[in-house]
Amino acid sequence: MRVTRRAALAGLGALALPGAVRAAEQTRFPVGISARPLSAFEPRRPEQRRFGALQFRSGLVLSSGHPRFGGFSGLARLNGGRDLVSVTDRGYWLTARVAYSDGKLSGLEGGEMAAILGASGRPLARSGLFDVESLCIHEGVAHIGIERKHEIARFDWARDGIEARARAVLVPPEIKRLPSNRGLEALGVMPAGPLKGALVAIAERSGKADESTLGAILGGPQPGLFKLARHDGYDITDLAFLPSGDMLVLERWYQPLRGVGMRMRRIAGRDIRPGALVDGPHLIEADMGFEIDNMEGLSVHQEQGRTILTLISDDNFSFLQRTLLLEFELIQ
């Protein structure tokens, strides 16, 4: 879902970057990415590093002169976190190498963007499947969730990378009946437990305010539907699994006079099963007093025995918003 942070406070609508609609239809191209480090997650208390169950490691404000850069709604970090993959809600991949300086994020190198390809090899967006809102890459296979059309596509990432072509994933009819702009915002593959190997998908919001939202277990030994509880006006924007099989859920609220907020919950993997209503404790919560924006992408990777969480924001292609890349360590 597209929301506007600073524009809402100013009473303005989101404004597209100049030239975006006139950009040449390129299917693959390099992109230069500038990065400005964030010195603290909470500017009022720059010395504070611990926030709930997470410890802030570092962050970046990312920008690029290319009109395709922005709108990032899904995230994966591969090869021990060295490589970053993201997807935009206009149907493009972003790949880059993650650079560090003194143990902190310093930039993205070797940036490349490419149109996500359909089965025919033509850009997926040409078929109307452009609103890509979720991404997971597990054991060499990438999955994306497409809002509005309520579809899931899979790609042979290990073999073809950004040149991989989409293959449709069958979804239950309940998924196809989701509200148009409240579709599949979160995808992940269960790494352990009774549902190991199953693809888990969760809708942003399938009912009224604070009603539970629809989740689906696709494939694996126990396919079926479940519900995820919602609270306090938060909508679901992404999920990622811990190696144990526990699920982290990224959430966001939006209010015209207050801007945006972010929260993350931990759901026990053993609770996820067909017919269940799942819920879990908060790990972190932040509002506009913190360095957040419209946080929509979440990834988990391991680094020397530590569990690292990375978040990315969707700037809605508005100069009034930012593309943020935030890195935390999960404190067990």
CATH number at 280 reads 2.120.10
Side-chain half-sphere of 186: how many Cα atoms within 13 Å?
A: 31
Is the pLDDT at 205 greater than 90? The verdict is yes
- Quick check: is 275 in a domain? yes
- Rounded distance, CA 331 to CA 96, Å? 27
- Quick check: is 23 in a domain? no
pLDDT recorded at residue 119: 94
- Average of pLDDT values for 264-291? 98
Mean pLDDT computed over every residue of the chain:
91
Side-chain half-sphere of 201: how many Cα atoms within 13 Å?
A: 33
Task: Read off the pLDDT band of 12 (50, 70, 90).
Answer: very low
- Quick check: is 179 in a domain? yes
- Quick check: is 22 in a domain? no
Alpha helices in 23-161 (DSSP H): 157-160
Span 36-57, pLDDT tens digits: 999 999 999 999 999 999 999 9
Task: Read off the pLDDT band of 8 (50, 70, 90).
Answer: very low
- Average of pLDDT values for 94-116? 98
The strand pair at 277-278 and 259-267 is best described as: unpaired
Is the pLDDT at 17 greater than 50? The verdict is no
pLDDT recorded at residue 25: 55
Provide the domain limits for residue 189. Answer: 6-15+30-330
- Quick check: is 20 in a domain? no
Split into its structural domains, the chain has a count of 1
- Quick check: is 25 in a domain? no
- Average of pLDDT values for 245-263? 92
CA-nearest of 298, 306, 223 to 264 is: 298
Contact of 324 with 292, CB cutoff 8 Å: yes
- Quick check: is 68 in a domain? yes
CA-nearest of 178, 268, 259 to 214 is: 178
Is the pLDDT at 100 greater than 60? The verdict is yes
pLDDT recorded at residue 281: 98
Task: Read off the pLDDT band of 27 (50, 70, 90).
Answer: confident
- Average of pLDDT values for 161-180? 95
Span 224-239, pLDDT tens digits: 999 999 999 999 999 9
More confident site: 126 or 161: 161
- Quick check: is 21 in a domain? no
pLDDT recorded at residue 208: 85
The strand pair at 199-203 and 184-189 is best described as: antiparallel
Span 283-306, pLDDT tens digits: 999 999 999 999 999 999 999 999
